[in-house]
Amino acid sequence: MTTSPFSLADKTILVTGASSGIGRATALLCAQQGARVLMLGRNAERLAETLGMTGRPDFHRVLSVDLCDQEALEALLPGVLLSPLSGMVHCAGISTTLPFRMVREQHLQQFFETNVFAALHLTRRLLKPALFSEAGGSVVFLSSVMGLTGSPGKTLYGMTKGALLSASRSLALEYAPRKIRFNCISPGVVATPMSAAAVYSRDEQALAEIRARHPLGLGEADDVAAACVYLLSDAARWITGSNLVVDGGYTSQ
């Protein structure tokens, strides 16, 4: 029987932010498609829940760690990587709606440290030949439509997501000789704990306006997870340096 090009069988995939939302959905779908999944997140209890939801807690691994803590990552990662990675999906991140006049140095530092520096430090560490498959693979960064379009109060979030878009294009060229592909996914508003905590979710009129900007309605975490699995799979073997917009039509208006 021919293996589907969309299968992740025999691949080891690392997913950050796997304790909830898009990260959890991605980790679970990767597992369903046959991958061995290493799930990273800060909340150990919720990570354990994600692991249990795979139905194979003995096959997959979790690591509770702050991605901004480089010393902890250096010490803990080798102990949970049981085989070379074939792919990575970086879902972890923070968001806010904050008028520019209120942005301070500490906000800039926090957002770049979490949304950009943590992603790049982790990626550089995982791309070491001893940790990443000699056959190549795929790295996916979760960006956002806010990295492509503007919105009041989204300067902090948008600039960090835009940085991932720019980084992925150069990384795609730099690592093409090793057959390691780099792509981004830019979701619109997805129903997750992060979006539920957003300012617009506490205002019915603002939420209605957000819904109206998505012709297909707000997204679900599984919608983005499916796009991640596609970019991780061999079906996307000729795709690198790209940005897959998964936004229910948000950027079409």
Q: Is 230 a catalytic residue?
A: no
* Ramachandran angles phi, psi of 169, nearest 5°: -70, -45
Please give the C-alpha separations between residue 2 and each of 7, 136, 154, in angstroms, as whole numbers.
11, 21, 46
H/E run at residue 76? helix 70-80
Please give the C-alpha separations between residue 220 and each of 9, 72, 156, 162, 227, in angstroms, as whole numbers.
25, 32, 24, 22, 12
Contact 184, 164 (CB under 8 A): yes
Letter string b/e over residues 85-104, b meaning 16 or more CB atoms within 10 A of that residue's CB: bbbbbbbbbebbebeeeeee
Residue 121 corresponds to which tokens in the numbers above? 């430090």
Contact 63, 78 (CB under 8 A): no
Q: What amino acid occupies position 34? A: G
Candidate list 157, 175, 230, 250, residue with the active-site label? 157
Q: State the residue for tokens 């799930």.
A: 39
Question: Which of these, 170, 182, 154, lies nearest to 244 by C-alpha position?
Answer: 182
Q: How many helices (H) and strands (E) does the chain have?
A: 9, 9
Residues marked as catalytic: 157
